[in-house]
Amino acid sequence: MHKIPVTVITGFLGAGKTTLIRHLLQNNEGRRIAVLVNEFGEVGIDGELLRDCQVCDDEEDPNSNIVELTNGCLCCTVQEEFLPAMQELLKRRDRIDCMLIETSGLALPKPLVQAFRWPEIRTGATVDSVITVVDCEALATNQFVGDLEAFEIQRQADDSLEHETPIEELFEDQLACADLVLLTKSDRVDDQTQVKVQQWLKQNLSGGVKLIQCQDGKIDCDLLLGFNAAVEDNLDSRRSHHDNEAEHEHDDGINAVQLLLDQTFEPSVLVKRLQTLVQQQEIYRIKGFVAVPKKAMRLVLQGVGNRFDYFYDRAWQPHEPRQTKLVLIGRELDQVLVESLVSGEELSVAGK
């Protein structure tokens, strides 16, 4: 029986991984695609967005090809979470042409790829390629690697980069493991900034790794699928900050706060509150669904830094509660404080 070719899609929070996968699912060109999506936090937003693609299976179908893992970062829970999920998918690999794995945005790609060397997986699947998605606007505005020029000077001066932040290390590891880099949201910066970002990326990519611009996840499936790289067999050539560590550690200060609010919001009002919150707290990513007053449609909201996008994706279903469901990922976020600021409640803790 054939090995399932697996494409690992990695990239920082909010870069556009889920948007890319939705496009691939909706333009599959006859391919039977399975998806394993890993989220940081217990409330699965990305998995629900993928299930709502018109080509996806019913959420209640036990044989659904959309598998969601929300109990931890894949690179830390490979044996506990990833292996059982993969084994279940491999049982029906005669009905799967290829597989996409979306990492959480805080996951290191290399430990995940190493799992494909395990006998339980190796006989049934191979890593076709690692695709790293990069948000051009976020990179240009120093959202997650600090000043580009200063960062490059540091990188050249000190190969170990011990003074790097964990997020900068994570970003470098995602680039180092890539077979292809997709640059998203470049339409939001001017031409000069685009050139600067592309030059910086090319300086930090391994030889032969291509950089392609991609808007709104729209890209030809044939460009992403069919690399035949067997990445698990050549991992040694893909450097990582954690290669010499018995175990890697995540930044323990990063956490996710989940909000389930029986409250409706006008989009502009909610965005203003969230922008205020981002100015007060160190928040990397906000995503979720919003109930809007007098609207039968569900609003999808996504934010990176102080930039927010939102759109209506579908009508609320008769069986589902009209709740506002948000996930905020940041550093040492306080659940009570965040919820009070988002809901508009006046709590004394908010003034501390």
**Cα 18 to Cα 13: distance, rounded to the nearest angstrom:** 10
Question: In this predicted structure, what is the pLDDT of residue 103?
Answer: 86
Q: Looking at per-residue confidence, does 125 or 82 come out higher?
A: 125
Domain that holds residue 147: 4-237
- CA–CA gap between residue 299 and residue 291 (Å, rounded): 7
Is 249 inside any structural domain?
no
Residue 243 lies in a domain: no
3-state secondary structure of 73: coil
Mean pLDDT of 1-12: 89
The reply to whether 140 and 226 lie within a common domain is yes
Average pLDDT over residues 262-289: 91
Q: Which residue has the tokens 């931890």?
A: 72
Residues 262 and 294 in one domain: yes
Q: Is 287 helix (H, G, I), strand (E, B) or coil?
A: strand
Concatenate the DSSP letters of all residues of 99-168 into one string: EEEE--SS--HHHHHHGGGSHHHHTTEEEEEEEEEEEHHHHHTTSSS--HHHHHHHHHH-TT-TTS-HHH
Tokens of 195: 């050139």
Domain shared by 174 and 263, yes or no? no
pLDDT attached to residue 229 = 82
Q: Given a cut of 80, is residue 139 above it in pLDDT?
A: yes
Q: Higher-confidence residue: 82 or 148?
A: 82
Q: pTM for the whole thing?
A: 0.71
Determine, yes or no, domain membership for 248.
no
> For position 207, which CATH number holds?
3.40.50.300
Mean pLDDT for the stretch of residues 18-28:
89
Phi, psi of 322 (to 5 degrees): -85, 80
Looking only at the bridges linking them, the beta strands covering 125-135 and 180-184 are parallel
Spatial CA neighbour of 148 closest among 137, 160, 159, 158 = 137
In this predicted structure, which of 162-166, 228-232, 333-337 has the lowest mean pLDDT? 162-166
As a whole number, the mean pLDDT across the chain is 80
Task: Count CB-CB contacts under 10 A for residue 351.
Answer: 6
Q: For residue 142, name the pLDDT band (cuts at 50, 70, 90).
A: confident
* CA angle, residues 101, 106, 110, in degrees to nearest 5: 60
**Domain count across the chain:** 2
Q: How far is residue 285's CA from residue 335's CA, in Å, rounded to a whole number?
A: 15
Type of residue found at 124 = G
- Select from 237, 268, 287 the last residue of a domain: 237
Is 284 part of any domain?
yes
Give the phi and the psi of residue 324 in degrees, each rounded to 5: -90, 120
Q: Which of 185, 206, 237 is the last residue of a domain?
A: 237
Range with top average pLDDT, 33-42, 53-62, 219-228, 258-267? 258-267
pLDDT at 109 over 70: yes
How far, in Å, CA of 241 to CA of 184, rounded?
25
Report the distance separating Cα 45 and Cα 39, nearest Å: 8
212 shares its domain with 298:
no
State the CATH number of the domain containing residue 312: 3.30.1220.10
pLDDT for the residue numbered 352: 39
Per residue in 188-234, pLDDT (tens digit) is 899 999 999 999 999 888 878 889 999 888 888 888 888 888 888 87
Q: Token pair 């290399």 is at which residue? A: 110
Assess whether 231 and 287 both reside in one domain.
no
- Cβ proximity of 261 and 46 under 8 Å: no
Indicate whether 42 and 68 sit together in one domain: yes
Tokens (6 digits) for 112: 């995940």
Q: Which of 147, 149, 185 is nearest to 165 (CA)?
A: 147
Edge to edge, the sheet with strand 98-102 lists: 66-69, 33-38, 98-102, 4-11, 125-135, 180-184, 210-214
Q: Note whether 115 and 180 are same-domain residues.
A: yes
The DSSP-derived string for 291-317 is --TT-SEEEEEEEETTEEEEEEEEEPP
267 and 177 together in one domain: no
Q: What is the mean pLDDT of residues 56-66?
A: 55
